[in-house]
Amino acid sequence: MVRMPDDLNQAEDFIKKFRREVHVWSPLKHKNILPLIGVCEDLTPLPVLISPFYEFGHIETYLRKHPEINRQELVLGVASGLEFLHANDIVHGDLKPQNVLVDKQGTARICDFGISKILNRSGFTTCTVGTAPYMAPELLFVIDGMAVDELPSTTKSSDVYSFGLVALEILTSLPSKGRPSKAIVTATMLAKLRPKRMDYDVRTVKSETWSVLDQCWTFEPQQRPAISQVLRKLDSSF
């Protein structure tokens, strides 16, 4: 059921965000991106986006029902989809298992472009920074840290950080330990966010694969590799 906005301002805000998502999503044609079929404006009070229905649901649900599936291929699929987005200067902004669906061929499909943005395009930026457990450290608010002059903003580098966490969860079926439930942390919590090798079985995540993912979690955004590099190195490590 589509919930009606409470007032005119909310309705205008909804339409603005809706149009932006359509503009971002509609041109994206890639095997690892959920396709947008179209827009429906006559069945509900507000317009809705139409996309294929995948009965397997998101990747977390899929893995619970199909634990024997080739997880490495799913990781590479997510990386390939993200590489496509970044090649088109699109920051997803909210990469997490719930935003990766699996189609009937077992192919990973990135979805939900509600807070995605097109870099260097007026009107296609957003102040929303994603879902706390999968957010890069520079997007979190540190309550006992130094004051910052600008609000945090998602980037390709923050997408890469999130990808590393999603990939680890796909490979292990375990959410990363010590992740915050809210986007507010202490400096002590921030220092402990990076996943630790000792928490994961080497039979599940090989050393070569861990080395690639660990680079995604580098604290300084500018020192993280591009997703194209991550994809190439993961493919070799698998």
Angle between helices 207-216 and 156-172 (to 10 degrees): 150
Closest CA to 51 of 117, 111, 2: 111
Residue 192 in tokens: 């402990």
The residue extents of the domains of the chain are 58-237
Full-model pTM? 0.90
Name the residue with tokens 């590489």.
83
In one letter, which amino acid is 158? S
| pLDDT, one tens digit for every residue, the chain (238 residues) | 445 455 666 767 778 888 888 899 999 999 999 999 998 887 777 788 899 999 999 999 999 999 999 999 999 999 999 999 999 999 999 999 999 999 999 999 999 999 999 997 765 556 667 899 999 999 999 987 665 557 789 999 999 999 999 999 999 999 888 899 999 999 899 989 999 999 999 889 999 999 999 999 999 999 999 999 999 999 999 9
- Do 155 and 89 meet the contact criterion of CB atoms below 8 Å apart? no
At 156 the three-state DSSP class reads: helix
Cβ-contact 209, 171 below 8 angstroms: yes
Catalytic positions are: 94
Cβ contact 88:28 at 8 Å? yes
Show the 3-state SS of 32-84: CECCCCEEECCCCCCCEEECCCCCCCEHHHHHHHCCCCCHHHHHHHHHHHHHH
- Hey, what amino acid is at 97? P
User: What is the CATH architecture assignment of 58-237?
Assistant: Orthogonal Bundle (1.10)
